[in-house]
Chains A and B, each alone.
Chain A
Amino acid sequence: MEPEQRALSVVLPVEPSRLPELAAALAAMGVTVADASRVFGDVPGLHFARLVMIPSGDDGRAWLALETNFDGPLDLHLDALASRVAPRARAVFACCSGFSFDDPRGSLLAGRLPERAFYLGHQGLTVETILNDRAVKRALSELLDDEISQDPSLLREGVDPRPVMQRVLGRLRRERPELELGEVPRPMHDAASFHARLWAIALFVVVLVLSGQALHPWGGAIVVAALLAPIVALAIAVLRAERGDREEIRDRPIRAYTRDELARLGTIGLIEDGSPQNALTHLVTPKPGRLRAGLLRFVLWGVDQLGKYVYRHGSLGAIPTIHFARWIILDDGRLLFFSNYDGSWESYLGDFVDKANEGLTGVWSNTREFPPTTLLAFDGARQEERFKVWTRRNQLVTQVWYSAYPDLSVRNVHAAARLRELSVPTHRRATAREWLALL
Chain B
Amino acid sequence: MNRGELQAIVASGFGGRGAARYVFVRARTGSRPGDVRAELATRVLPHVVSVESEKPPAFAQLAFGPGGLRALGLDDDELDTFPREFVQGMAHPERARVNGDRVDEWHLGVHGLDVLVAVFAGDDDAAAALEADMLDGAAHLERACEPLVASRLPGQREHFGFRDGISQPAIEGVHADPRGPERPVPTGEFVMGHENVYGQLPAAPSLSRERGAGLPDSRVSPGRVDLGDDGTYLVLRKLEQDVFAWRAWLREASRPLAGHVVDPEAYLGAKVVGRWKSGAPLVTCPHRDEPDHALDNAFDYDLDLSGLACPRGAHIRRTNPRGALPPSPPRSRAAVETRRLLRRGRPYGPPAGEAPDGVERGLVFVCLCANLSRQFEFVQQTWVEGIKFDGGWSEDDPLVGARRDGADRFTIPREPVRYAPRGLPRFVTARGGGYFFLPGMSALRWLLDERRR
- Asked if A342 and B338 make an inter-chain contact with CB atoms under 8 angstroms apart, the answer reads no
Given contacts A320-B327, A344-B381, A384-B374, contact A141 B417 (CB under 8 A): no
- Asked if A141 and B420 make an inter-chain contact with CB atoms under 8 angstroms apart, the answer reads yes
Partner of A346, one of B377, B394, B414: B377
Question: Chain B contacts of A436 at CB under 8 A?
Answer: 416-418
Partner of A354, one of B83, B334, B416: B334
The count of A-to-B residue pairs whose CB atoms sit within 8 angstroms is 145
Interface membership of B223, Cβ < 8 A: yes
- Asked if B415 and A157 make an inter-chain contact with CB atoms under 8 angstroms apart, the answer reads yes
- Asked if A255 and B83 make an inter-chain contact with CB atoms under 8 angstroms apart, the answer reads yes
* B383-434 interface (Cβ within 8 A of A): 386-388, 391, 393-394, 413-420, 422
- Asked if B203 and A255 make an inter-chain contact with CB atoms under 8 angstroms apart, the answer reads yes
Given contacts A251-B223, A318-B331, contact A354 B84 (CB under 8 A): no
- Asked if A343 and B382 make an inter-chain contact with CB atoms under 8 angstroms apart, the answer reads yes
Given contacts A161-B417, A270-B93, A347-B382, contact A383 B198 (CB under 8 A): yes
* A378-411 interface (Cβ within 8 A of B): 382-385, 389, 407, 409, 411
Residue of B nearest to A250 (CB): B222
Given contacts A253-B222, A270-B97, contact A344 B326 (CB under 8 A): no
Interface membership of A135, Cβ < 8 A: no
**Could you say which of A68-76, A146-154, A293-301, A420-428 contacts chain B?**
A146-154
Partner of B418, one of A159, A266, A384, A439: A439
CB distance from B182 to the nearest CB of A (A): 19
- Asked if B331 and A355 make an inter-chain contact with CB atoms under 8 angstroms apart, the answer reads yes
- Asked if B256 and A152 make an inter-chain contact with CB atoms under 8 angstroms apart, the answer reads yes
Cα A164 to Cα B198 with chains together (Å) = 49
**Interface membership of chain B positions 199-242, coded 1 if the CB is closer than 8 angstroms to chain A and 0 otherwise:** 01011001000000000000011111000000000000000000
Residue of B nearest to A436 (CB): B416
CB distance from B61 to the nearest CB of A (A): 26
CB distance from A261 to the nearest CB of B (A): 10
Partner of B374, one of A270, A343, A346: A346
Cα A265 to Cα B98 with chains together (Å) = 14
Residue of B nearest to A354 (CB): B335
Cα A148 to Cα B202 with chains together (Å) = 52
Given contacts A148-B256, A265-B84, A276-B387, contact A344 B417 (CB under 8 A): no
- Asked if A385 and B327 make an inter-chain contact with CB atoms under 8 angstroms apart, the answer reads no
Question: Chain B contacts of A240 at CB under 8 A?
Answer: none
- Asked if B223 and A415 make an inter-chain contact with CB atoms under 8 angstroms apart, the answer reads no
CB distance from A396 to the nearest CB of B (A): 17
Residue of A nearest to B82 (CB): A255
Interface membership of B306, Cβ < 8 A: yes
Interface membership of A262, Cβ < 8 A: yes
Question: Chain B contacts of A433 at CB under 8 A?
Answer: 415-416
**Interface membership of chain A positions 129-154, coded 1 if the CB is closer than 8 angstroms to chain B and 0 otherwise:** 00000000100010011001100111
* A258-276 interface (Cβ within 8 A of B): 262, 265-266, 269-270, 273-274, 276
Q: Which residues of A contact B (CB under 8 A)?
A: 137, 141, 144-145, 148-149, 152-159, 161, 164, 250-255, 257, 262, 265-266, 269-270, 273-274, 276, 315, 318, 320, 342-344, 346-347, 350-351, 353-355, 382-385, 389, 407, 409, 411-412, 415, 432-433, 436-437, 439
Q: Which residues of B contact A (CB under 8 A)?
A: 80-81, 83-84, 93-94, 97-98, 196, 198, 200, 202-203, 206, 220-224, 255-260, 306, 326-327, 331, 334-335, 338-339, 371, 373-374, 377-378, 381-382, 386-388, 391, 393-394, 413-420, 422
